[in-house]
Structure 1
Amino acid sequence: MVRKMGYDWKILLKNKYYHYAIKLGVSVLLVGLAFRLLYDRSYDFSPVSDAPFLQDHQISAPPFNSQQKSDQIPARESIDNREGQCNLFAGDWVHSPIEPLYTYKTCRYVEDHQNCLKNGRPDTDYLHWRWKPHGCELPRLNAGRFLELMRNKSWAFIGDSISRNHVQSFLCMLSTVENAVEAYHDEKYKNRRWVFASYNFTVWVIWSPLLAEAAIFEDINGVSNSEIELYLDRFDKNWTELFESMDYMVLSTGKWFTKPTIYYENDTVLGCHRCYTKNLTDFGFNRAYERVLNNVLEYIIASNPKGMVFYRSSVPDHFENGDWDSGGACKRTGPVKAGEFVVNELDRIIGEIEVELLPKALAKASEKGVGLRVLDVWGASLLRPDGHPGPYRFFQPFAKEENATVINDCLHWCLPGPIDSWNDMLVEMVVRGLE
């Protein structure tokens, strides 16, 4: 084999097997180009890996099919339901003729990958549904009133690319009164800060996909060349250094825990998840997520921060008939009813851990007078498989070929879209707390 590599390349070209190698190389390059297009940076929001559902195509296949369906329908009780108050998180989607607060033409913060209408999505009915809690109305976010309440305040959205998707919606809804001015971004645009100058209101987005300290070996396209190294007993300083200075924080994590990871505690390897080439004990992502989430909640309670902390629940993706890399798509054009869509196994496990830990943390925080709440968007989001970009993550994906094969994004949310309701809920919780 070594001697063959010393041959003259002209001779090698005559070998039919070399032609096969050329074809294989071209195929790999085309796949790489597809991934680059999928994760190409947009004009407004920068080149952070934008899709946690791209797990690690360079390492190995998952131990089980992430599209395996759970036997249990996750019609769970909402986590943060205060006695004497209407439960914002239990309800239904009802049709509404009212237009969204913003469009991609009026909001500069809509990222290309979530700009579904500009990218050619033909249906628009997904824009005309509002979340209706049982027994009360959920007020639409009143940007003017909210900005007045937030004078001289600071917010931070902390987490992964879903948190960035969330802050984009937040900025767009407030832009109906005033556009925020970007005041800071780091080199890779992962951490950013905006200011609503007329109100001295500051909004951060902080990249911390695991909330714990981690070494992540991914390139700009989300391609991994090694397992994540996650330190279960250390927090990510990206968010803890800002923790005490914020008036409001929205933290979340979840999806990244399903990636191949080596776990450390006390600087000692505990084991790993999906590290098939390593001679390490299988620790399980569920144990890691449970441990980190519990540590984060205990840290919040022990710190007794000056501000209000919201933990945003995880949300299920809506891939059907496969995963992102095996033909999975999200083709529905309207909401579903409870029980009509069953989450995949990974999302079910993450959700069950939250249902176990978050109510206990809320009770403990309440006893100690700590401002901790849960923004439980799981149930409302589960019913909206129509709210994702799908193939319209790309600009005009079927312009050249009507039946083109296109990778779908059934994890992030169209802007505008159902994710805007998260901010209706969030702001209503804030307003209730101030009254």
Structure 2
Amino acid sequence: MKLWNRKKPHFPVLVFFFSLFLVFSILHNERSILQIQDHPDHAPRHHIPVTYVKPNRLTHQNHVTEVLDRFSTCNSTREYSGRKIAWTDNLTPEPLHGGRGESLESCDVFSGKWVYDNSSYPLYNESECPYMSDQLACHKHGRSDLDYQYWRWQPHNCNLKRWNVIDMWEKLRGKRLMFVGDSLNRGQWISMVCLLQSVIPKDKRSMSPNAALTIFRAEEYNATVEFLWAPLLVESNSDDPVNHRLEDRIIRPDSVLKHASIWENADILIFNSYLWWRQGPVKLLWSTEANSVCEELDGMGAMELAMGAWAEWASKVDPLKKRVFFVTMSPTHLWSREWKPGNEGNCYSEKSPIDLEGYWGSGSDLPTMNMVDNVLSKLNSKVSVLNITQLSEYRKDGHPSIYRKFWEALKPEQLSNPASYSDCIHWCLPGVPDVWNELVYHFL
């Protein structure tokens, strides 16, 4: 009897643990599948050995790298080799004083709320800025509610330095201020030009024709405010400021040399990069690779490589001679259900900011933000961070929506459904980018 009692439990116990194992395995697999569906860029890959590449090399074994342009192609594409950018080896740790913008303040100027202020805003009139872009001129293109122009950013427990155009010009006297990045950074550049141009006589100011580098010049101050089209920071086949809509996006993940040869002569630099990395896989053509053999990587992984190549350049900057800013991601407002549960629209017809403090939508990719923050934190005093993401998240009302010039003819089905072609990415001017530039002024 004793012997039977000791042996009897064995079979049920085995069945119990085997069943528990099956349930755990099923739940784990379902969770993994859901994670991949929610974040396809983060799907697990086969283990790849990591090798480190020194970026921004002019030549390699007498091989001169061919410059990428919109006609460049990959002869073949293989799996990502696991190469990473090695850029921190020669970086000397520095104290944080004089570095990232938020560390300079007794309070966080990036944390606050939007206050309606129609007495001191807007800081300029859309119609009185001759350099306004039709992509951002919302009133000109039919937007009748102008409240988006009257919101002022109010940090908690402190104030932003009040905009003073003459003082800003004095800060720029004899200097080159250059914005480097994509169309969102171009919008910030246009905002800065509109903020500055009104006090410069017409015969003492000029704007160069639209090109990869576009320059606004003020003779009286011997100063320029410039924009360099470099949407991916590193060299790419999308570096043409007009013809960049291509089937495959190809980058040199280890080289900013093409763009840096232009931007390194500026005194104040304002960089951005984000949106273009959210448009599917990216082809990698390493500078050492012959015969146009490319690798392929997801957007976030490719951005991390590009940020490493850019950071290697930034790590050599003397902050006493050159001021470098990096603008964090500009959020989109593509899904109104995120701030208005049950609604299936987007930013179309929105007329006021989101008033829920701490709101985050899917237009801000937190994993990418963490990756960028990790890179920037290693640069210490080399780069000042303009953390515009959270404050811009609240401004679902600030996008052009349908009130802009569209460069392609709209289809009848689009016209019958305005939300379907609304621009919920860029920003109306005057508007949100003016505050980004107030932050630049605050930290200069």
- Range 338-347 or range 82-91, more displaced: 338-347
Q: Does 1:181 align with 2:205?
A: yes
Q: CA deviation at 1:80?
A: 4.0
Give me the whole-angstrom Cα distance separating, in 1, the residues matched to 2:376 and 2:241: 33
CA distance in 2, matches of 1:301, 1:222: 29
CA drift of 1:288 comes to 1.2
Identify the match of residue 305 of structure 2 among 291, 301, 317. Answer: 291
Q: Distance in 2 between matches of 1:289 and 1:303?
A: 21
**Per-residue deviation, residues 172-230 of structure 1 (Å, max 9, x unmatched):** 11123126733534xx6332111111111111100000010111398957542x31111
1:125, distance to aligned residue in structure 2 (A): 1.5
**C-alpha contact 2:165 2:195 (8 A) present in aligned 1:** yes
State the match for 1:237 in structure 2.
Answer: 258
Name the aligned partner's letter for residue 235 of structure 1. V
Report the number of matched residues.
327
Q: Structure 1 residue aligned with 2:431, among 409, 414, 417? A: 417
For 1:246-395, list aligned pairs within 5 A: 246-259=266-279, 260-268=281-289, 269=293, 271-272=295-296, 283-304=297-318, 306-320=321-335, 328-338=346-356, 341-344=359-362, 347-362=365-380, 366=381, 370=382, 372-394=383-405
Structure 1 231/193 Cα, relative in aligned 2: closer, same or farther at 3 Å?
A: same
Measure how far apart 1:236 and its partner are: 4.9
Instruction: Output the CA distance in 2 between the equivalents of 1:356 and 1:220.
Output: 32
Q: Deviations over 1:90-149 (max 9, x none)?
A: 111112122312112211111112111111112111212100111111133210111122
1:90 counterpart residue number: 111
1:217-232 equivalences under 5 Å are 220=242, 223-224=245-246, 226-232=247-253
Paired residues of 2:249 and 2:282 also in contact (CA < 8 A) = yes
1:271 aligned counterpart, secondary structure? strand
CA contact (8 A) 1:321 1:329 kept: yes
Corresponding residue number in structure 1 for 2:82: none
Aligned partner of 1:151 in structure 2 is: 173
Asked if 1 retains the 8 angstrom alpha-carbon contact of 2:331 and 2:392, the reply is: yes
1:80–1:359 contact (8 Å) kept in structure 2: no
* Rounded Cα–Cα distance in structure 2 between residues aligned with 1:329 and 1:401: 19
Contact 1:141 1:423 in 2 (8 A): no
CA-to-partner distance for each residue in 1:260-283, whole Å, 9 max, x for gaps?
4211234445632xxxxxxxxxx2
How has the CA–CA distance of structure 1 residues 88 and 329 changed in structure 2, closer, same or farther, with 3 Å as cutoff? closer
Q: Distance in 1 between matches of 2:436 and 2:424?
A: 17
Give the match's secondary structure for 1:119.
Answer: coil
Measured at CA, do residues 341 and 133 of structure 1 come closer, stay the same or move farther in structure 2, by a change above 3 Å?
closer
Please say if residues 92 and 132 of structure 1, whose CA atoms lie closer than 8 Å, have aligned partners that are also in contact: yes
CA distance in 2 between counterparts of 1:348 and 1:115 reads 30
Contact 2:248 2:282 in 1 (8 A): yes
The residue number in structure 2 matching 1:167 is 189
- The reply on whether 1:211 has 2:222 as its aligned counterpart is no
* CA distance, structure 2, for counterparts of residue 227 and residue 401 of structure 1: 28
User: What is the root-mean-square deviation in Å for CA atoms of aligned residues?
Assistant: 3.0
AA in 1 matched with 2:131: Y
Q: Please give the alpha-carbon distance, in whole angstroms, between the structure 1 residues aligned to 2:388 and 2:158.
A: 17
Instruction: Give deviations 1:268-302, integer Å, cap 9, x for gaps.
Output: 45632xxxxxxxxxx22111111211221232112
Query: 2: CA distance between counterparts of 1:237 and 1:80?
Result: 28
% identity of equivalent residues: 29
Q: Which has the larger radius of gyration?
A: 2
One-letter code aligned to 2:437: N
Amino acid at match of 1:307: K
Cα contact 1:208–1:236 (8 A) shared by 2: no
> Which piece of structure 1 moves more, 403-412 or 337-346?
337-346
Is the partner of 2:251 in helix, strand or coil?
A: strand
Deviation per CA, 1:151-176: give whole Å up to 9, x if none.
11111000011111001100111123
* Distance in 1 (alpha carbons) for counterparts of 2:402 and 2:359: 20
Q: Is the 8 A contact 1:321 1:328 kept in 2?
A: yes
Unmatched runs of 5 consecutive residues or more in structure 1: 1-78, 273-282, 431-435
TM-score (norm 2): 0.67
Q: In structure 1, what is the Cα distance between the partners aligned to 2:257 and 2:182?
A: 13
